[in-house]
Amino acid sequence: MKLRPIMFVGTCSDAGKSIVNTAFCRIFRQDGYRPAPFKAQNMSLNSYSTPEGGEIGRAQAVQAEACGIWPHTDMNPVLLKPSTDQTSQVILNGKPIGNMSAREYFRNGNKEELFREAVAAYRRLAEQYNPIVLEGAGSISELNLRDRDITNMRMAKAVGAATYLVADIDRGGVFASVYGSVMLLPEEERQLIKGILVNKFRGDVSLFEEGRQLIRQITGIPVVGVIPYFKGIHIEEEDSVALETKATTAREGKINVAVVRLGRMSNFTDFNALERDERFHLYYTTEVAEIEKADIVILPGTKSTMADLQALYENGVAEAVVRAYRRKKKVVGICGGYQMLGLRIEDPEQVEGSLTEMKGLGLLPLVSVMQDKKVVCQSRFRFKQYETECTGYQIHMGTTCSVDGSDRSRALNRLSGEMTDGYWLDEYCWGSYMHGILDNPVVLDDLAGGFPSAKGEPFDYRVFKDRQYDLLADHVRKAVDLDYMYSTLML
């Protein structure tokens, strides 16, 4: 049966739209449909490579995973990747088209063209999947951005989506936020709102029955679900705001893994597997004292490698990382962090900024050269000497070569044919461009090697993630009036 598209929009940022969207992607799949996610425009440093070599926001890749399908650039046609506090790289249909300041992006005349591209991407998806599960961005009632919005109610209207407003009751003011969000919409957009989902409710849900009735009285729109707050379900988060809730200090009894928190850190989801594997204790830090407590130190990816490396020299972290290796601690670099571990980074065309060259940490005999061309691909590889096939993805600008001609003999990962990736110095230090490398059980087991005090069984993060989607779907399914929601989707 063909269904209308469904869209989840919010009263504010972080209301839980992405999580709700993910839940319904899995619910529709469980109910025998073939859903696909869609978000016209996303802003995030957490991105993902699609099989065809395009780049999309990580949230849409997670939602595609919940649907049981491969991610595609049509699921997120416009992606903004902040480079500085004022500028972002603009990704259109998976490919970078340049850098823009916020003023240029929101004030110039390109939004009509981008909206047409977004609608075209939606149409292509709708030909293959049923239903399309759309996600809005931020608040639906930003009056100063209404005429330039390509993500929220304008998209809902263009595709005829049954739209549901997600409100975060945990932060307070739910009645005002719902009423204001609804009443600030033009009447034709207000008619698209079919229901309200009150999210992150703590306590006895039955106590909010009066609240449900009051919201319907003041808005004319039913509350179709009150979703309880949860902690025991783990879905990958895209927004770097999630880092504020992560551990920042070492602890006893496990393998301490310190991820250096860079100013423009990207793809922090690379380390989620370490957070869930009970053998490890993962924490994020810029404190030298906490890095010195770590058994493993990881330099992550970044959108601004040279600027972040310069900051590490200034705050003493660079020296602490080198000192950790000399003390026989394991040191790992991924993507931009891999480049930092080399002898130097060159940027002759000033791709990243005004600096043209910077000394690396000198642990690996490598030189990286920044280039305009971005490498975006998914990869299958074999890690170190192991024969188990692993998977990951690459998103980087620049090439890295050894200065001693040992590229292949010291390669960390063996890809198809003669292709290789990364550098394996010794049992204490390696680097790779491969995002998602730690999602592979063989890599986690290797990383845990040499720590006899570590307790815990081998961990398969992909199996873990799939189970979380089912748990999330069950949690949301119990909290909403699914029959009513399906009735609004019937054509």
Q: Which residue has tokens 């770590």?
A: 294
SS3 state of residue 448: helix
CA 231 to each of CA 16, 83, 471, 475: distance values in angstroms, whole numbers, following the listed order: 13, 32, 12, 11
Query: How far apart are the C-alpha atoms of 321 and 311, rounded to whole Å?
Result: 13
Which residue numbers are catalytic?
Answer: 335, 435
Tokens of 457: 């069984």
Long-range CB contacts for residues 288-292, cutoff 8 Å, separation at least 24: 288/315, 288/316, 288/317, 288/320, 290/248, 290/249, 290/250, 290/258, 291/258, 291/260, 291/317, 291/320, 291/321, 291/324, 292/320, 292/323, 292/324
Q: Where are the alpha helices (DSSP H) in 127-225?
A: 153-159, 174-183, 187-190, 209-219
Peptide bond into 441 cis (omega under 30): no
Query: How far apart are the C-alpha atoms of 263 and 361, rounded to whole Å?
Result: 18
Strands 389-402 and 420-421, by their bridges, are unpaired
Q: What is residue 145's DSSP assignment?
A: G
Query: How far apart are the C-alpha atoms of 454 and 457, rounded to whole Å?
Result: 10
446 CB-near residues (< 8 Å, 6+ apart): 383, 384, 386
Report how far Cα 290 is from the mean position of its chain's Cα atoms: 26
